Structure 1
Amino acid sequence: MAEALLKHHGKGKYQVFSAGSDPSGIDPRTLSAIEHFGLPTANLTSKSVEQFAGEHFDFVITLCNKAAAECEGRVSGTNCLAWDFVGPKSRKEANPFEKTLQELNERIKTFVLQLEQATPNTISPTRFYKSLADDIRLKTLLIVAVEHEVCVCELLVALAEESQPKVSRHLAQLKKAGILSDRKHQQWVFYSLNPTLPVWMKQVITSTVVNEPNFIEQELARLNAMGDRPTRTAKCCE
């Protein structure tokens, strides 16, 4: 589904491949949902990630937490994005494959739009370092680096901040600087590192997490006390 959608929205600008950690063929209901959406299925095949061993991609996107864990270290990418979608076979509602495809479609449209609007490597080192000069912004970036994606309510808990406008103001500054990207789900906004952020800037952020873990130890403890990500997300989006 994701391969067909990204090829469609990318309009030939990107090479797109899909694979599974334990492929067992394409479910006919998947092909039916894609065809019903109006996209071709003739060249879609079931492939294993092992087929791409040794290759390097600009983006590696996993579509559930299980796949993120199983594919870690098996596929190489400059930007590794972990999305978490409920698989259609696990859904208990009507038309589960069509609904999963619609959710993927919305996320992929946002992803492509971010790529088209992004201006990689235009963030000056001075602006980048100034963005790290405030504890809230720095801790936010480190939390995002660890969690991959967080919403405002999670940051309020993690940072022990009572003022949502204050946290949102800092997030807006990081987004304006081009360091964070966001996506909207219902009335909530979720933030992640901008996938087009220069590699050296990402390395500065991740190196800070690795070399000074105590700096956000309490923040991560408060965040983890909220439960696992699906539970936290459900609470945020109620």
Structure 2
Amino acid sequence: MRQKVLFLCTANSARSQMAEALLRQLAGDQFEVFSAGNMPEEIDPRTLATLQSFGIDSGGLVAKSVAELAGQHFDFVITLCSKAHRECRHWPGSGVVMAWDFPDPKQRPEPNAFARTLQEISERIRLFVLVNSKQVQPLPPPAALTFYKALADETRLLSLLLIERAGELCVCELVEALASPQPKVSRHLAQLRRVGLLLDRREGQWVHYRLHPALPGWMAGIIHSTREHSGELLALPLQRLRDSANPPGSRVQGATQ
């Protein structure tokens, strides 16, 4: 029997809709997924456009009021903003209540706010699936020495920094960015995956990589800080990505392994 998960935010127009669509796509065979809002509005068109641009099925998404789901039991009630958590933390009949607080993409200043929010929620969703799935066990985090050894190779370091910047990249994008043969890039990515730094997923024939969602905060922080202070090192790889036929975030790119 699938466990029931309810995502809540105030308007049910962006964050909770993203979470519903993501969990359905990633683990719809394990979880029955719903979303609702305390004061529901129409789904923001940018939410649907962003989901579609990342190849995530947005069919069936409808803004709903919390009141419409009253009386139902949920194994997990997950709030995505502090206001929703304050108002719904005593959801009747709920099992585990979790508070995830993500900035409202409608109020974020960056031009790619909706895409960034989707990536952030995706990382948390993937960790949720890993922790709560009986079929998948998360890898233990790498030891400090293993972590620093992984950063000592140029191909692995650049791959980590580019993936951290984009949120997710496929093999072919990294081949373009690094101007390296596909077997070499795949070999280094496989090594990063084996030690627990990366998580991969297959979408049809394409293989995509992202930072492992269970990565300890201090390790993720070092990768992020290194990327922020490596503008000169990343300039050429980023230019190659911009010049390539499949820019970062495209859902038509990929490479088989």
TM-score of the pair, normalised by structure 2: 0.56
Name which of 147, 153, 178 aligns with 2:172: 153
Q: Secondary structure at the match of 1:118?
A: coil
**2-structure distance, mates of 1:148, 1:28:** 24
Q: Which residue does the alignment assign to 1:210?
A: 228
**1-structure distance, mates of 2:177, 2:134:** 27
Q: Which residue does the alignment assign to 1:89?
A: none
Question: Counterpart amino acid of 2:137?
Answer: Q
Q: What runs of 5+ residues in structure 2 fail to find an aligned partner?
A: 1-19, 44-57, 63-70, 90-97, 105-111
1:149–1:190: 8 Å Cα contact kept in structure 2? yes
2:82–2:99: 8 Å Cα contact kept in structure 1? no
Query: Are 1:225 and 2:243 an aligned pair?
Result: yes
Query: Are 1:9 and 2:3 an aligned pair?
Result: no
1:142–1:208: 8 Å Cα contact kept in structure 2? yes
Q: Secondary structure at the match of 1:190?
A: strand
Q: Counting helix residues as a fraction of each chain, which structure ranks higher?
A: 1
2:131–2:137: 8 Å Cα contact kept in structure 1? no
Q: Which residue does the alignment assign to 1:185?
A: 203
Pair 191,29 (structure 1): closer, same or farther in 2 beyond 3 Å: closer
In the TM superposition, what are the counterparts of 1:53-132 in structure 2 within 5 Å? 57=99, 67-69=114-116, 71=117, 80-82=120-122, 116-121=136-141, 123-132=142-151
Name which of 136, 141, 162 aligns with 2:155: 136
Pair 156,48 (structure 1): closer, same or farther in 2 beyond 3 Å: closer
**1-structure distance, mates of 2:134, 2:241:** 27
In percent, how many aligned pairs have the same letter?
33
Q: Deviations over 1:155-191 (max 9, x none)?
A: 0110011x21111000000000100000001111000
1:3–1:17: 8 Å Cα contact kept in structure 2? no
1:3–1:18: 8 Å Cα contact kept in structure 2? no
The number of aligned residues is: 190
Shift of 1:215: 1.2
TM-score of the pair, normalised by structure 1: 0.60
**1-structure distance, mates of 2:205, 2:147:** 29
Question: Counterpart amino acid of 2:114?
Answer: A
**1-structure distance, mates of 2:103, 2:254:** 24
